[in-house]
Structure 1
Amino acid sequence: MDSLKRAAVALPETAVAPEVAPMMEAAELIVTYLERLGVEAVFGVPGGAIEPLYNALARSERRGGPRPVVTRHEAGAAFMADGYARETGKIGVAIATSGPGATNLITGVATAYANKVPMLVITGQPPLRNFGRGALQESSCTGINAVGMLRHCTRYNSLVSHADQLETKLLNALMRAFQTPQGPVHLSIPVDILRSAVTAPREDGDHSAFVYARPALVDLDAVHLLQGELERAESPVFLIGDGCGEAVDAIMRLVDLTGASFITTPDGKGLVNPRHPAFHGVFGFGGHASAEALLRSHTGLVVAFGTAFSELASAGWNSALLNGRLVHVDPCDEHLMRSPMARLHVRGRILAVCRLLIDGFAANDARNVESLPSHNVDSHNPNVALHAPEAVDSDAAPIKPQRLMRELSRRCPPHTRFLADTGNSMIWAVHYLQPLSRRGTGAAGTLRAGQADRRSGTANWLRVMMDFAPMGWAIGAAVGIARGNPRCPVVCITGDGSYLMSGQEIGVAAAEGLTVVYVVLNDSAYGMVMHGQRLAKAEPVGYELPQVDFAALARAMGVPGHVVESPQELEAIDFEALLARRGPTLIDVRIDRDEVPPMIQRLKALGAVK
């Protein structure tokens, strides 16, 4: 001991004590990272096992950082985080307490996984010392194993068992959420870990550059082969999928350079102007006969950009229409593996691929881009063949769903974001929704992406759910989109069945003062089930729903509600005022339940009809 004292005395006077790193609570560290990533809102339901994170969010809100949005159900929180991520291009964040809070999230997390939406999911746990002792709402490996349940629908999934792990695992999760394929990631954190002291991150740290980074890596050899294919092709056909968000302007430039016609998948329709003269409709679920006819009659090159070729996006894997002519462009190996019929696969970021192709055309003087003709984007598009077009103009009551879509197209402003819920709502919207002036025209006739209302490369005027498609998704996702981009009005097209599952989330839109108009297609039935049974000549069972006054339900929650039973009553509603006011509105539309949507392809995929 004396020797230690003598050594201390002998230290030179110029010696400086090592700098002590500042400390903060673990929950505060999480919020600090979210703030640096530009996240404005965190969606969830509070509870004891997640309380420290809510405390940190309360402090964050006071200083202008990320704030909590309290949802009515944890599935709604995941749906809102999904919508927020799609609209902003940032990470969507959903949080829940342990046990049932975590399990309630699973459907929303699985939806994000199937649709490759980047999302950070944080669930609480009881204190580590109580694992295995029957703690309230325990969801550890010795209880109801939430980490195990979420393993199959996340890209990264881990229990934080020591405070020193938190920063590393949080960064690993955030980065993995944006790697290809993108998707949700999950951290399960015991409440005592959330309260622990950890080293604070550097004040000058900026992690957004590598978390949100999207490398422009491409297969150059494949791009050169595609360049040659396009130069030799006469009037190729482009199929545009939902993965083309940031690249759609470049694809439209290629449409003009190559003289291509184009079609979209159901979830790609919202990226394009449906009145573009080269647009021939939607291929896939709820799509148009004109899109399929174009592929059947066309014998040349077909280039698919950014699609997974899932059932709904491929008209039930109708490879006969594409076999031997297809080139598939996508950054995701999982997507490319679903198109074995393609004669060429081009792996890489779609925007980078398109820019290389455009540069190649310019270098070869293929066409002078600046001299390309302009397009009248507001004119009627005769290339798109509608199913039952006479119903679009029908004045019958109850209102035809086709007429409702026409009125929504006509009455909502150009910057409106539409969402259509799973079921008949999606089919009607994909097939008939055709808003005016979605995109302006430049001198070259290229349809621009409306930069005035775009926050990221993900803006999309129509969002529908593909693959893992839960009813009620659009109700929560509409809140997330409106929270992420309050400047754009949001219209959620949903069914009475979906609304009965998730309609309570309209209260979140009211509490947040968000401009969301909920249009409920009310036919007192699970409509897709009803029509599917009729078309397949199956037993008519299990589809009836009670007659519900959804407008009255909305008013009970402090939300203006209207009942519409005819086109004339719909025309009397002042949409301009509804979409300008702060807060949600509900329109209960009594539709003609006997109108059959174009859904036969789904029944064929199920084997219900031939």
Structure 2
Amino acid sequence: MDSLNAAVPRSGADSSALHTPEAADFIVSCLEKIGIEYVFGVPGGAIEPLYNALARSGRRGGPRAVVARHEAGAAFMADGYARETGKIGVCIATSGPGTTNLITGVACAYDNGIPMLVITGQPPIHSFGKRALQESSCTGINTVGMLRHCTRYNSLVSHPEQLHIKLFNALMHASQMPMGPSHLSIPVDILRSAVPTGSQPHDFSLLLRTPSALVDLPAVEALQALLQRAQRPVFLVGDGCGEATAAILKLAHLVQAPFVTTPDGKGFVNPRHPGYRGVFGFGGHASAEALLRSEPDLLLAFGTGFGEFSSGGWSQSVLNSRLVHVDSSDENLMRSPMARLHVRGRILTVCEQLIERMAPHSLVTNVYPFRDRKAEQQDLDAMLDQPHKLRSDAAPIKPQRLMHELSRRCPPNTRFVADAGNSAAWAVHCLNPQDRRADPGSRARTTGPSLRSSLGERRRHASWLRVTMDFAPMGWAIGAAVGIASANHQCPVVCITGDGSYLMNGQEITVAAALGLPVLFVVLNDGALGMVKHGQRLAGAEPIGFELPQVDYAAIAHAMGIPGYVVRSPADLAALDIEAMLRWPGPTMLDVRIDGEEVPPMNLRMRTLGTGV
């Protein structure tokens, strides 16, 4: 719809009938202007006008509604959509319990810096203070007050004339550093109100773009001098590096610096890159920890907030005076006061500047050699704890063997999403898919204006593995997988989740079925809250509260009209055509009865709780 004055037929009405645009239509039209395709949520009376507007929009090819089964699932879907597209994820809910159900997903997005627009309903303004049904204004259950603590912008729209400026503010706060959710609470009578005279849908797309030249040039010059003197530089790639990954690896190749990643940064790199030394932090590798403990004379950390899981429990191996912290987020930079140097700016631009300055006269003096490409699989195996279990034929199937088979048999463009707990630990430690992306370090050196096209546009969202580190709600991956699959129909999605997480949020699989999305749901079924069970054992605590009922998740999937299979052994898995499942226009369930006695790589978590070694 080019203009709010365009004629749109009412649902079920004659096509010649005209609809008078409402505030809800204005919102949807603005979302269309910035390229939003889907709005995730659950309908309700206080948000009905927005669903009416989405119905009209969907009929003409504009933004359409995706109905979740629970509002938290809707927020997780919007999170996954944002990570895949680099756009703002949008989720909506009715007033009262609809809004409170959203809060966990919104808080997760806030803690992980995910751009999100959250729109919630309210009863009519004239009913405020009268105990209206599900009132959640300041005179009821104050959801605006609740969401203040996990949003970048948070406001009640009390007059139609406020809508355009508050929507503009919400979108800007969500998409600019530090990114995160913005919340608008809109009473139903405001949503139904006529659009103020002269208002048109706004195209905010240029303002929502990140300027490429925002960088602290004196700090870049200081970093250049440090790099030219360094003999043992090491790079750390964090979760904020997506668009800059190719440039970071090109710079690493230029100075022959080996690199490690944070757990949530692993998906941005090819694990077969000759400079890769593994993951540092939760679920990580001894090889990465050994490299950082070897006291490199310069450690460049890109795009990380140094949370518990990404800093090795705030290890002095990274948080020391040899650290240079490069980030566009002031909040991230504030977490490394001990660093030798802070370089504030867009990471891609910082790396481009360094490559352009250093490439013509680079002399490699690094004492850390890159690995030999010919031995890449042996090198990957050597990084792991007990690598022989990758190929174990034991039944029940070892989780290590499951991760190895998923790595080997899923197409190279597969998106993996791993849930909180054991699922993330095993995925971070063992998943090493065949990533066929070109090695940026092998390309001809390029400087000047053509550098960006040489490296390709690697945006923040371009990751083959998504995990959530800081807030880490159980069941996040289930909704996120649906959001990713709805955003990108070219790439299959594999959701690795636990039986505990699936019992919380597994109903969202029916959304994938309704939309025909090729998502493979892999449930690690050991009849337990695995991280709780193993944590209690490792700590010598009381064994309590970890047991789950024995459930046939494949049978549940069948009851929903979804193909499901039980996997008890490597032979069962070998009999399945994984690639065919990922081409199937709909979800598939793998109920994998894993060996629950295998202890996940969780020593970091035990140490930070004060119960590990």
Deviations 1:320-351 (A, max 9, x none): 45422111101111111111221111111100
Give the direction of change, closer, same or farther, for the CA distance of 1:204–1:131 in structure 2 (3 Å limit): closer
Alignment match, 2:548? 545
Give the direction of change, closer, same or farther, for the CA distance of 1:453–1:211 in structure 2 (3 Å limit): closer
Deviations 1:544-587 (A, max 9, x none): 10100000011111110000000010011101110111000000
* Aligned 1:310-459 pairs, distance under 5 A: 310-364=307-361, 366=363, 376=373, 379-380=376-377, 382=379, 385-441=383-439, 444-445=442-443, 456-459=459-462
Alignment match, 2:40? 43
Deviations 1:268-295 (A, max 9, x none): 0000001111101000001001100001
Give the secondary-structure state (helix, strand or coil) at the position aligned to 2:510: helix
Say whether residues 1:65 and 2:62 are aligned partners: yes
Give the direction of change, closer, same or farther, for the CA distance of 1:192–1:304 in structure 2 (3 Å limit): same
Amino acid at match of 1:131: F
Deviation at 1:259, TM superposition (A): 0.4
Give the direction of change, closer, same or farther, for the CA distance of 1:446–1:99 in structure 2 (3 Å limit): farther
C-alpha separation in 1, matches of 2:372 and 2:199: 52
* Aligned 1:53-202 pairs, distance under 5 A: 53-199=50-196
C-alpha separation in 1, matches of 2:285 and 2:196: 57
Give the secondary-structure state (helix, strand or coil) at the position aligned to 1:136: coil
Amino acid at match of 2:508: E
Alignment match, 1:602? 605
Amino acid at match of 1:96: A
Alignment match, 2:512? 509
Alignment match, 1:481? 484
Amino acid at match of 1:244: C
C-alpha separation in 2, matches of 1:516 and 1:284: 28
C-alpha separation in 1, matches of 2:553 and 2:202: 49
C-alpha separation in 2, matches of 1:575 and 1:594: 26
Say whether residues 1:225 and 2:228 are aligned partners: no
Amino acid at match of 2:110: Y
8 Å contact 1:378–1:436 — kept in the other structure?
no
Give the secondary-structure state (helix, strand or coil) at the position aligned to 2:583: coil
8 Å contact 2:54–2:64 — kept in the other structure?
yes
Alignment match, 2:17? none
Say whether residues 1:497 and 2:500 are aligned partners: yes
C-alpha separation in 2, matches of 1:486 and 1:376: 33
Alignment match, 1:9? none
C-alpha separation in 2, matches of 1:150 and 1:595: 39
* Aligned 1:527-542 pairs, distance under 5 A: 527-542=530-545
Aligned counterpart in structure 2 of residue 302 of structure 1, from 299, 302, 322? 299
Larger-gyration structure (1/2): 1
Give the secondary-structure state (helix, strand or coil) at the position aligned to 1:121: strand
Give the direction of change, closer, same or farther, for the CA distance of 1:378–1:572 in structure 2 (3 Å limit): farther
Deviation at 1:445, TM superposition (A): 4.6
Task: Please say which of residues 440-449 and 571-580 is displaced more in the overlay.
Answer: 440-449
Give the secondary-structure state (helix, strand or coil) at the position aligned to 1:379: helix
Cα RMSD (Å):
2.5
8 Å contact 1:275–1:378 — kept in the other structure?
no
* Aligned 1:201-240 pairs, distance under 5 A: 206-240=203-237
8 Å contact 2:26–2:200 — kept in the other structure?
no
Deviation at 1:609, TM superposition (A): 3.0
Deviation at 1:459, TM superposition (A): 1.0
Deviations 1:370-413 (A, max 9, x none): xxx99849931516521111211100000000000000000000
C-alpha separation in 2, matches of 1:577 and 1:470: 31
Alignment match, 1:290? 287
Give the secondary-structure state (helix, strand or coil) at the position aligned to 2:139: coil
Give the secondary-structure state (helix, strand or coil) at the position aligned to 1:197: coil
Deviation at 1:88, TM superposition (A): 0.3
C-alpha separation in 2, matches of 1:162 and 1:111: 30
Deviation at 1:98, TM superposition (A): 0.5
Count of aligned pairs: 587
C-alpha separation in 2, matches of 1:415 and 1:29: 37
Deviation at 1:601, TM superposition (A): 1.1
Amino acid at match of 1:428: W
Give the direction of change, closer, same or farther, for the CA distance of 1:297–1:150 in structure 2 (3 Å limit): same
C-alpha separation in 2, matches of 1:200 and 1:283: 56
Give the direction of change, closer, same or farther, for the CA distance of 1:453–1:584 in structure 2 (3 Å limit): farther
Residue identity over aligned pairs, in percent, reads 66
Deviation at 1:298, TM superposition (A): 3.4
8 Å contact 1:416–1:488 — kept in the other structure?
yes
Give the direction of change, closer, same or farther, for the CA distance of 1:168–1:375 in structure 2 (3 Å limit): farther
Alignment match, 2:12? none
C-alpha separation in 2, matches of 1:104 and 1:98: 10
Runs of 5+ in structure 2 lacking a partner? 7-19, 365-369, 446-450
Amino acid at match of 1:462: L
8 Å contact 2:274–2:371 — kept in the other structure?
no
Give the direction of change, closer, same or farther, for the CA distance of 1:565–1:160 in structure 2 (3 Å limit): same
Amino acid at match of 1:188: S
Amino acid at match of 1:596: V
* Aligned 1:270-281 pairs, distance under 5 A: 270-281=267-278
Give the secondary-structure state (helix, strand or coil) at the position aligned to 1:242: coil
Give the secondary-structure state (helix, strand or coil) at the position aligned to 1:486: coil
Give the direction of change, closer, same or farther, for the CA distance of 1:564–1:451 in structure 2 (3 Å limit): farther
Normalising by structure 1, report the TM-score: 0.92
Deviations 1:28-62 (A, max 9, x none): 00000000010000000000000000000000001
C-alpha separation in 2, matches of 1:200 and 1:365: 61
C-alpha separation in 2, matches of 1:486 and 1:382: 34
Deviation at 1:456, TM superposition (A): 4.8
Deviation at 1:608, TM superposition (A): 2.2
Give the direction of change, closer, same or farther, for the CA distance of 1:194–1:377 in structure 2 (3 Å limit): farther
8 Å contact 1:374–1:441 — kept in the other structure?
no
Deviation at 1:362, TM superposition (A): 2.8
